């Protein structure tokens, strides 16, 4: 191994590199107070690895983005974990950055000769938030789509450069495919290159000037120890703890959430991720034109305070007590952000309308993800709902049936309403008033009088008619009594019940009524003798539908009965 090491060292000089990395003198010796920077670099590396793994499955287009993320989330082995770790990594970097900023401020590590490194650190922090903002849109789900719309709208409201910058970022005047590809390019190409370059400069400057020792050591002899093994061990322990917390968060939440596909035509009550909530809350206090002042002016002021901090602090003493005002300014900025975030969370928690919208959004998310397991159509995104028989049936209804039938208030009432079609409630209302406009009142199927039975006999008759479709949950004893009522009231003089043929005079055969087989036969030939015969007004709908569409309509009407 020594000969191999010698051979490699002659060619690549790795021993000098390892010496530079691990033999750096650490003022005051190894300490856990020095681990935050290393933890940040570790999480950044983790973000790179998980990001590359996700990129292997991601399709950056408005039609395929959501489908590819849903596929990664649900069908790729440990895909949910990889995506969850990437999401948790973003939160971890924000928290660690805030702690690192606070520590550097308290220790006075921004002072001469470390001013440039402080500014590079601020640039890294801005790059981190740019990462978070651009990554938010990439799943192309409801949450990311609408929250990013708000962000770009605020950018567009900036004086002079705002409109141009907004067009540049979103790839034109409208949100669409170019918006997504621009954000993807920023997130995976431009920002990583900038982050790596700034990190290299940041670490190089830190190595040039060394770790800032505690302020108490100013008059003590400077004792130092090599970075390895003591400080290296502490850094590794910190990295392991950060990773353990991230894994616990990911496993507990089963990865990162994915909302329903982005739908520009929908109404969605969007909220940003937790680290952008302070800005969201701030906007509430500055309505109308003042919103831009809050969104851009307040962050600029806070950024200006941080930028000029090393230029203002020219004292000779690094002890916190000698820099109370400056430390207070930084603490106020961080504390203000935390306070605004907490206020935003509490306001949403007590906002009944928002909580209701969250319940609906989560239900829609579960529905969309369940449908995605059947495959997402080439149109992508909201086309996933085409996998839902009910949704397909509603599309058929809108195209083929809405001209005569009403459903949930839409359509023309020229034929029976389809709301709850042939459910117990529908049958009860029909038997009491069969010529009501809700049923056959505007068709040629006329002449039936309200049934005479009342009370328990009427309930039994309703149950028997409902049972003809092979419905689940039928009260067999009550249905049997209903059959007796049907015969005793001479209803069988007009209606056959063998399911074969009728009289062709508008008194349909009730055998198997509302069952899938009955529905298919009826939609194929409603004017047959088994159904409405010569009194029929309904076209042969099945002839205009594909097999899938016909099955969807049959399934939908069956669901309406159950509902």
Q: What pLDDT sits at residue 291?
A: 78
Q: What pLDDT sits at residue 307?
A: 95
Q: What pLDDT sits at residue 227?
A: 74
Q: What pLDDT sits at residue 421?
A: 92
- Cα–Cα dist 115/521, whole Å: 83
Q: What pLDDT sits at residue 465?
A: 95
Q: Which two tokens stand for residue 457?
A: 């006999």
Q: Read out DSSP for 161-204?
A: THHHHHHHHHTSSS-SHHHHHHHHHIIIIIHHHHHHHHHHHHHH
Name the most confidently modeled range: 64-68, 152-156, 288-292: 64-68
The pLDDT tens digits of the residues spanning 416-453 come to 999 999 999 999 999 999 989 889 888 888 888 999 99
- Cα–Cα dist 8/411, whole Å: 80
Average pLDDT over residues 262-291: 86
Q: What pLDDT sits at residue 240?
A: 96
Distances (CA, A) of 492 to 440, 487, 518: 20, 6, 19
Banded model confidence at residue 214, pLDDT cuts 50, 70, 90? low
Average pLDDT over residues 15-22: 73
Helices and strands, counts by H and E, the chain: 22, 4
Whether the pLDDT of residue 59 is over 90: the answer is: yes
Handedness of CA 34, 314, 118, 202 (dihedral sign): negative
The SS3 call for residue 406 is strand
Displacement of CA 394 from its chain's centroid (Å): 25
Q: What pLDDT sits at residue 217?
A: 54
Whether the pLDDT of residue 558 is over 50: the answer is: yes
Q: Which of 104-108, 359-363, 426-430, 438-442 has the lowest mean pLDDT?
A: 438-442
**Placement of tokens 């230029």 in the chain:** 311
Q: Which residue(s) pair with 26 in the sheet?
A: 225
Q: Which two tokens stand for residue 267?
A: 């109404």
- Cα–Cα dist 356/354, whole Å: 5
Banded model confidence at residue 163, pLDDT cuts 50, 70, 90? confident
Q: Using DSSP bridges, classify how beta strands 224-226 and 25-27 pair: parallel, antiparallel or unpaired.
A: antiparallel
Average pLDDT over residues 97-122: 93
Q: What pLDDT sits at residue 220?
A: 47
The pLDDT tens digits of the residues spanning 487-535 come to 999 998 899 999 888 888 889 999 999 999 999 999 999 999 999 999 9
Q: Which two tokens stand for residue 140?
A: 């192309």
Burial letters 434-471, b for 16+ CB under 10 A, else e: bbeebbbbbbebeebeebebeeebbbbbbbbbbbbbeb
Whether the pLDDT of residue 29 is over 50: the answer is: yes
Average pLDDT over residues 213-219: 60
Q: What pLDDT sits at residue 556?
A: 87
Nearest to 348 by CA among 361, 357, 336: 357
Q: Using DSSP bridges, classify how beta strands 224-226 and 410-411 pair: parallel, antiparallel or unpaired.
A: unpaired
Q: How many residues does the chain have?
A: 563
Average pLDDT over residues 209-216: 73
Nearest to 117 by CA among 32, 229, 35, 208: 208
Average pLDDT over residues 359-366: 91
Task: Tell me the H-state helices in 350-454.
Answer: 352-372, 389-396, 424-432
CA dihedral 451, 452, 455, 457 (to 10 degrees): -80
Backbone phi, then psi, for 230, in 5-degree steps? Answer: -65, -50
pTM for the model: 0.75
Q: What pLDDT sits at residue 222?
A: 59
Q: What pLDDT sits at residue 411?
A: 83
Banded model confidence at residue 221, pLDDT cuts 50, 70, 90? very low
Q: Report yes or no: 263 and 391 within 8 Å, Cβ to Cβ.
A: no
Q: Report yes or no: 261 and 143 within 8 Å, Cβ to Cβ.
A: no
Whether the pLDDT of residue 347 is over 90: the answer is: yes
Q: What pLDDT sits at residue 350?
A: 93
- Cα–Cα dist 263/275, whole Å: 25
Q: What pLDDT sits at residue 321?
A: 83
Banded model confidence at residue 11, pLDDT cuts 50, 70, 90? confident
Q: Which residue(s) pair with 141 in the sheet?
A: 261
The pLDDT tens digits of the residues spanning 127-152 come to 999 999 999 999 999 999 998 888 88
Percent of the chain with pLDDT over 90: 55
Average pLDDT over residues 94-101: 96
411: CB partners within 8 A, 6+ apart: 397, 401, 402, 403, 404, 405
253: number of Cβ within 10 Å: 13
Whether the pLDDT of residue 24 is over 50: the answer is: yes
Q: Read out DSSP for 200-247?
A: HHHHHHHHHH-PPPPGGGSSS---EEEIIIIIHHHHHHHHHHHHHHHH
Displacement of CA 455 from its chain's centroid (Å): 51
Distances (CA, A) of 561 to 27, 158, 419: 78, 55, 9
CA dihedral 530, 536, 539, 542 (to 10 degrees): -20
Whether the pLDDT of residue 463 is over 80: the answer is: yes
**Maximum Cα interatomic distance, the chain, rounded to a whole number of Å:** 113
Q: What pLDDT sits at residue 327?
A: 93
Percent of the chain with pLDDT over 70: 96
How many alpha carbons fall within 13 Å on the CB side of residue 550?
A: 17
């Amino acid at each position: 191994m020594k000969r191999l090491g010698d051979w490699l060292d002659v060619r690549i000089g790795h021993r000098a590199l390892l010496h530079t990395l691990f033999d750096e003198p650490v003022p005051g010796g190894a300490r856990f107070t020095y681990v935050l920077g290393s933890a940040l670099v570790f999480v950044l590396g983790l973000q790179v690895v998980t990001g590359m793994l996700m990129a292997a499955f991601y399709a950056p287009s408005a039609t395929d983005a959501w489908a590819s993320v849903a596929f990664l989330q649900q069908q790729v082995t440990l895909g949910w974990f990889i995506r969850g770790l990437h999401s948790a990594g973003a939160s971890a970097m924000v928290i660690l950055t805030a702690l690192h900023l606070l520590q550097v401020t308290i220790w006075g590590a921004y002072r001469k000769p470390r001013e440039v490194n402080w500014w590079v650190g601020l640039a890294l922090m801005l790059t981190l938030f740019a990462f978070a903002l651009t990554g938010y849109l990439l799943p192309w789900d409801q949450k990311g789509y609408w929250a990013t719309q708000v962000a770009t709208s605020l950018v567009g409201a900036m004086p002079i450069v705002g409109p141009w910058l907004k067009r540049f970022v979103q790839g034109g005047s409208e949100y669409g495919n170019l918006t997504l590809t621009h954000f993807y390019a920023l997130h995976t190409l431009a920002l990583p290159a900038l982050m790596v370059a700034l990190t290299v400069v940041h670490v190089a400057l830190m190595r040039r000037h060394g770790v800032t020792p505690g302020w108490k050591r100013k008059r003590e002899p400077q004792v130092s120890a090599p970075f390895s093994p003591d400080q290296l061990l502490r850094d590794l322990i910190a990295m392991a703890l950060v990773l353990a917390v991230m894994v616990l968060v990911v496993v507990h939440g089963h990865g990162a959430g994915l909302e329903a596909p982005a739908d520009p035509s929908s109404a969605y009550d969007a909220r940003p991720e937790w680290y952008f909530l302070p800005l969201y809350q701030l906007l509430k206090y500055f309505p109308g034109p003042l919103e831009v002042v809050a969104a851009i002016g307040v962050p600029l002021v806070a950024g200006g305070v941080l930028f000029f901090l090393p230029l203002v602090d020219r004292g000779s003493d690094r002890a916190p007590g000698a820099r109370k005002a400056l430390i207070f300014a930084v603490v106020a900025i961080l504390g203000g952000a935390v306070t605004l975030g907490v206020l935003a969370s509490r306001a949403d928690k007590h906002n009944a309308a928002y909580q209701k919208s969250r319940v609906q959004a989560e239900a829609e998310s579960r529905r969309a993800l369940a449908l995605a397991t059947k495959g997402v159509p080439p149109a992508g995104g909201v086309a996933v709902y085409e996998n839902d028989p009910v949704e397909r049936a509603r599309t058929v209804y809108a195209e083929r049936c809405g001209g005569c039938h009403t459903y949930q208030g839409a359509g023309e009432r020229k034929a029976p309403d389809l709301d709850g079609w042939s459910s117990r409630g529908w049958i009860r209302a029909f038997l009491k008033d069969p010529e009501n406009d809700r049923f056959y009142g505007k068709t040629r199927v006329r002449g039936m009088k309200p049934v005479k039975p009342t009370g328990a006999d009427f309930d039994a008759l309703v149950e028997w008619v409902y049972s003809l479709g092979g419905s689940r949950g039928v009260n067999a004893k009550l249905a049997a009594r209903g059959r007796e009522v049907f015969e005793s009231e001479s209803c069988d003089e007009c209606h056959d019940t063998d399911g074969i043929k009728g009289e062709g005079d508008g008194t349909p055969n009730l055998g198997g009524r509302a069952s899938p087989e009955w529905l298919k036969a009826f939609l194929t030939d409603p004017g047959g003798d088994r159904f409405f015969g010569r009194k029929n007004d309904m076209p042969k709908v099945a002839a205009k539908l594909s097999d899938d569409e016909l099955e969807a309509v049959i399934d939908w009407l069956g669901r309406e009965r159950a509902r």
